[in-house]
Amino acid sequence: MDVRFCRIIFALYSLIRKYGAWLVIPAMLGGAAFLADSVLTPAVSISSAVEGLKTLPALEHLFTENKDLTMMITAVIIVILFAVQSRGTESIGKVFGSVVMVWFAFLAIVGVVAIGNDWSVLAALNPYYGIKFLFSPNNATGLALMGTVFLSTTGAEALYSDMGHVGRGNIYFTWPFIKVALVLNYFGQGAWMLRNQNNPELADAEGINPFFQMMDPNVRYVAVVLSVTAGIIASQALITGAFTMVSEATGLNWMPHLQVCYPARTRGQLYIPVVNVVLCVATLAVLLLFRDSEHISAAYGLALTITMITTTILLGIYLWHRSNKFGAVVFTIVFLAIQVLFFAASMAKFLHGGWFTLLLTLAILMIMYTWNEGTKLERSQRRHMMPKDFLPALDKLHGDSRIHRFADNIVYLTSDPDLKRLDTDIFFSIFADHPKRARAWWAVAVETTDEPFTREYSVESFGTDYLFRVRIRLGFKVSQSIPAYLHQIMHDLEKTGELPNQQSIYPKLDADPGIGTIRYVVIHKALMPESKVSGRGALSLQIKYAIRRVAGSPVKWFGLAPYNPLVEVQPLFVFTRRPPRLTRVASQAPKREG
C-alpha cells in the first residue's frame, strides 16, 4: 500500500512549499474542502441507497405512511458505521473487495439489460449530442446541468485520498472494469428514461429513481442490499481519508495534536477518536437539515470541485519546477478550464445547499489558518539554551541543600528532538518563583516512527548525573505511555552508573521502590494582556488555545493523568509592551479640618 500518496494535496504542498509562502492558501483550502466533502458523502451515499426501499412493492405502504422512515434508517446506519471505526477496517476490508466486485458486476449486468429496451441511447457516446444539448433551448437549467454531470466523478478523489487502504496498483488494475460498469449502468438508466418519457403512469410520480425503476421488482431487493453496502464502503473511504488528512494536517502544524490509534499493522490505516465523533455529529446534522438525498445532492460536489482546482494549481507548480515548463502550463490551463467550468456549474446550486458546503469549508479553513498562524507566533519567540548557559545555574541549584527538593525526578515534556540543547521555557520553569530542586531533571521528547513496533531511546547527560535529555522513538502501533518507558530508562541508567541510585522510602503509585518520586510538568503558553501582538495574531492565538482546550492534552496522550502532573502556564511574549513610567512626587501632609 502506498501511504505516501494517500493525501495528495498535502503531499504536493510538502514538495513545493519552498517555492512560495502563498502556496499554503490553495493547500489549506483544498484540504478543508475535502474534509467538508467527508461529511456530505456518508449522508448522500447511504440515504440514496436506503431510499431504494421505497421502490419495493412489499414495503411501499410503510414509506408512504411515514415520510421520515428512510431518514431514520439512514441515521441508524450512519451511527453504526462511525461506532465501529475504532475496531479498524483491515478484516472488513477483505470482504469489501469482494462486495465491490459483485456490486459493479451487478451494475454492468442490469445496465446491459436495460439498454436492450432502447439501443438508440448508445448514440450518446458521441460527445456532439451532449454539447448540442448543453447549448440548446431545451436545456432549461443552462450551465447548472454540468453540476449534475460532475457528480459522476465524485468517487475518484475518495479513492486517492484513501490510497493507504486501497493501494495504487489496485486502482490502476481495476479502473477499466469500474469505468465500463458505470457507463453501462448510466446508459441503461438513459434507455429506461427514453422508453418511459411518455408513460402516463409516471407523469405525476414524485421522487422517481431511474436506477431502481429500470429493474424488475424482484431484482430490486438485491439492488437495495448491494447499494446500501456500496454506500457504506464509499463512506468508509471518505472517513478513513479524513483521518489521514487530519493526521497530515497535524504534521504540518495546521491542526492540533490529537490522539491517533492504529487498529491495523500499517500506518496508512488509522483512527482518530475526536475526528470520528465530529464527523458523525456533522453527518447526522446534514441528514437532519436536508432530510433526503435529493436535497443533499444540491450541496454535494461543490467541495470536490474546490479540492480538484487547488490540487491542479499545486500540481502545476510542481511540474513547472520539476519538468517541462511548457507542458506544465498546458496541463494547468486545460484542467483548470474544465474544473472552473464545473465549479461555476456547482455554484448554481448555492442557494439550494451549496451554501452549507462553503460554510463548512470556511469553518475548517479557519481552524487550519488560525492554528498555523498561532503556531508561527509561538515559534517566533521560542528560544533554546546551550549547555554553557544552563549548566552552571542547574549545578548550583542541585547542590543547594537549603532548598527542599520539589521531587526526586522532575520530568518535562518537550517537542524539541535536539539532545544538545534545552528549551528556555524549561529553564524558566525550574527557576521561576520557588526553584524546583531535584535529584535529576529530565527533558523528554517523543517521536513516532513509520515502523509499527519501534522501541528505542537516546540519552544526553551533558557530563552530569542530574540532567538528562531523552529522545524516545516509538512505532505508530506502540502505546505512548511515557511513565512506563521512563522507569525503564531510569533503571538502565542506574545500572550503568549514569544516574545515582534512588530509593523510595514511602509508597508510590507506580510501586517501584528502585526509583524516587517523579513529578511530571507540562508547559502551556498563554497570551497575556501586555503581550504586544497584532489584532490578527492575538485572535489567532485565542482561537488556537480555545481549540486546544477541546482537542485534548498531552496529559492524556502520554498516560500522565494518574501521576497528577503539574500544568504550568507561561506567558507568550512576542514583544513586550513597556508600561508608561511613573513620576514620583513629593508627599503632602493631609489637611486638617476646622
- Please compute the mean of the pLDDT values over residues 441-461 and round it to a whole number: 90
Q: Which residues, including other chains, have CB under 8 Å from residue 192's CB and lie 6 or more apart?
A: 114, 117, 210, 213, 214
Contact 12, 250 (CB under 8 A): no
Residue type, 120: S
For 243-278, what is each residue's pLDDT tens digit?
888 988 887 889 988 888 877 666 667 888 999 999
Residues in the chain, overall count: 594
Per-residue pLDDT at 161: 57
Would you kindly state where each structural domain of the chain is located, as residue ranges? 8-374, 395-572
The band of 4, judged by pLDDT with boundaries at 50, 70 and 90, is very low
> What are the grid coordinates assigned to 271, written together?
483512527
| CB contact burial 499-517 (16+ within 10 A = b; e otherwise) | beebebeeeeebeeeebbb
Query: How far is Cα of residue 427 from the mean position of the Cα atoms in its chain?
Result: 34
Which phi and psi (to 5°) does residue 116 adopt?
-60, -20
Confidence tier at 507 by pLDDT (50, 70, 90): low
CB 37 within 8 A of CB 307: yes
**What local confidence, expressed as pLDDT, does residue 2 receive?**
42
Distance, CA of 571 to chain centre: 30
97 vs 430, residue with greater confidence: 430
3-state secondary structure 65-101: HCCCHHHHHHHHHHHHHHHCHHHCCHHHHHHHHHHHH
pLDDT at 526: 82
Of residues 140 and 591, more confidently modeled: 140
Which stretches of 440-515 are DSSP H helices? 482-496
Q: What are phi and psi of 451, to 5 degrees?
A: -85, 145
Are residues 15 and 190 in contact, defined by beta-carbon separation less than 8 angstroms?
no
Confidence of residue 88 (pLDDT cuts 50, 70, 90): confident
Q: Which of 24-38, 98-112, 491-505, 568-582 has the lowest mean pLDDT?
A: 568-582
- DSSP H/E element including 459: strand 455-460
Percent of the chain topping pLDDT 70: 90
Beta pairing, strands 422-423 & 405-413: unpaired
Lowest-confidence range among 139-148, 192-201, 224-233? Answer: 139-148
In the chain, how many H helices and how many E strands? 22, 8
pLDDT band at 3; cut points 50, 70, 90: very low
- What whole-number distance in Å separates Cα of residue 197 and Cα of residue 201? 10
How large a percentage of the chain has pLDDT more than 90?
46
Q: What is the pTM of this model?
A: 0.81
Quickly name the fold that domain 8-374 has.
Amino acid/polyamine transporter I (1.20.1740)
